[in-house]
Amino acid sequence: MSPRPGFVLEVDRSTPPTLFWHGEGFRLERLPTGSRVLYAPEPIDALDDPVGAIRHALADPLGDSAPLASLLRPGMKLTIAFDDISLPLPPMRSPDVRQMVIEEVLELAAGAGVDDVVLIAALALHRRMTDAELRHALGDRVFDSFAPHGLLWQHDAEDPDELVHLGLTDQGEDVEINKRAATSDLLVYVNINLVAMDGGHKSVATGLASYRSLRHHHNARTMAHSRSFMDQHRSELHSSNWRMGRLIAAAGVKVFQIETTLNTDTFPEQFRFLQRREWEWNARDRAGFLASSKALEATPARLARSIFHSIRSPHRMTSVQAGEVEAVHARTTENVYAQQLLEVDGQSDVLTMGLPYICPYNVNSIMNPILVACLGLGYFFNMYRGKPLVRAGGVVILSHPTPWAFHPGHHPSYIDFFEQVLAETTDPAEIGKYEEAFATDPWYVHLYRTGHAYHGVHPFYMWYWCAHALEHVGAVIVVGGDRAAVRRLGFKPASTMADALEMAADVVGPDPSITHLHSPPLLMADVR
């Protein structure tokens, strides 16, 4: 039976309660009659032979690229960059897509006699991955072949000796990227395109860039003008990255792009109820939900976090494209949309979301309040094409515990951002005055370079990610969150969904239209 497309349910009296993610837990909420619930398309069929598909993509590339094998020769300098820990979500079961692709690339390189090969985790300003995380992404064989010999690098955006400035775009944007990558005879970039934002010129221009370069598109103005940043053609974020990418190409950096897409088979068997529509839950699903919920209620937060972060997703590859960057990315985007797109008729007054325990920046870490905001107002709000799911001046209701808690090793500058900057202002346009101090703070730089800390400027980026939503909506309400933390974010706390809907009515008027984004699994609304 072929997978069913996404579905827009209109809630009526017979509709069972709707499942909301709530951090490391769930809530069942009864939405008012007439509310819409958006369900993601069912996972599309995975590739039967992913390795074969990879080989085919490398041999028959898109655009004007020659087959990878023909680009490889003895004595050349080859760099293989790959997406970092932020993708996919949750981390996938072994073998990871990166492992499968890189093994094939290395087979070809070995066959061609290439012996100067370096792997680089394209961190941008993300935290360095641990050895265990690298081993999981690359597999034992690759990791053991490269890491002990110093040939597995992690991009260091603060190492002046390992960056090269390639010039300015026609908009005056600095393009400064990893020197090893830029000076290689060939740069192969291996992507996992979990959402439509990922990949394209953004891979190199962002993943291997420095703060000097990133600041041109990671800012409040750019993000407010990216509507949405999941829609490349209406995204100033992408426009800037495309300008940079073309400059990188013009500077002589030869990029062979490999992009992969995954299906939305997101959760393992014991959480299978998360993939199903509530009215279709069978006894096993209900038992799974009850067992999970009751167990989590009795589990300390730290342990619950640990349990969830041990989840390995059964994601499977649905496509692989290789070759010239723009041609590859166009095909990839089609494939992402084929899995995730759901047609939705018009906007609503209120948009509700249940936020899970994970976002791109807290893998094996704590979902701090800034990341809660970023996941809800940055990522989920922007999962649209056309128009936002909520009307201008509408209300977004998030469900998440939003603890006032931070991982001190991963997010040190987030703590200061939360304590200092958000205490002063929550306006994305205003916070920029603090950015330079955070970006150049020697302590944050030290922790980024030597520990596992996100760069000092990273919390600003998270807040910029929210810029479009904050400009668009009239209010943000968080159900079940730490009240002090929610207020610090500039949002309104509510104890229950019913309270939140009453509060929303104060903003949008009585009997508002309501849409619930039932995600993850991921879906992207095509709002007409």
Please report which residue ranges of 36-96 form alpha helices under DSSP H: 50-59, 68-71
- C-alpha angle with apex 293: 290 to 297, nearest 5 degrees? 135
For another protein, which is the closer residue by CB, 441 or 526? 441
For residue 177, the cross-strand partners are 164, 209
Distance from first CA to last CA of the chain, Å, rounded?
Answer: 29
Element housing 112 (H / E)? none
Tokens 């603890």: give the residue: 403
The CB-of-463 to another protein minimum distance in angstroms stands at 17
Please report where in the chains the tokens 């939705």 appear, as a residue.
344
Q: Residue 251 or residue 437: which is nearer to another protein going by CB?
A: 437
Tokens standing for residue 498 = 């019913």
**Least spacing, CB of residue 414 vs another protein, in Å:** 11
Q: Which is nearer to another protein, 416 or 526 (CB)?
A: 416
Closer by beta carbon to another protein, 34 or else 451 = 451
**Residue 276 near residue 59 (C-beta atoms within 8 A):** no
Q: What residues does 430 pair with on adjacent strands? A: none
- Our CB check for another protein shows the closer of 33 and 420 to be 420
CB 17 within 8 A of CB 518: no
- Please, are residues 43 and 49 in contact by the beta-carbon 8 Å criterion? no
What are 100's two structure tokens?
């499968």
Of residues 419 and 430, the one with the C-beta less far from another protein: 419
The minimum distance between CB 488 and another protein, in angstroms, equals 12
Q: Which is nearer to another protein, 21 or 463 (CB)?
A: 463
Contact between residue 225 and residue 184 where contact means Cβ atoms under 8 Å apart: no
Q: How far is the CB of 442 from another protein (least distance, A)?
A: 6
Q: Which chain residues interact with another protein by CB under 8 A?
A: 415-416, 419-420, 437, 441-443, 446
Q: Which is nearer to another protein, 278 or 441 (CB)?
A: 441
What's the closest the beta carbon of residue 300 comes to another protein, in angstroms?
22
Closest separation in Å from C-beta 216 to another protein: 25
Q: How far is the CB of 416 from another protein (least distance, A)?
A: 6
Nearest approach, Cβ of 436 to another protein (angstroms)?
Answer: 12
- DSSP notation for 464-514: HHTHHHHHH-SEEEEET--HHHHHHTT-EEESSHHHHHHHHHHHH-SS--E
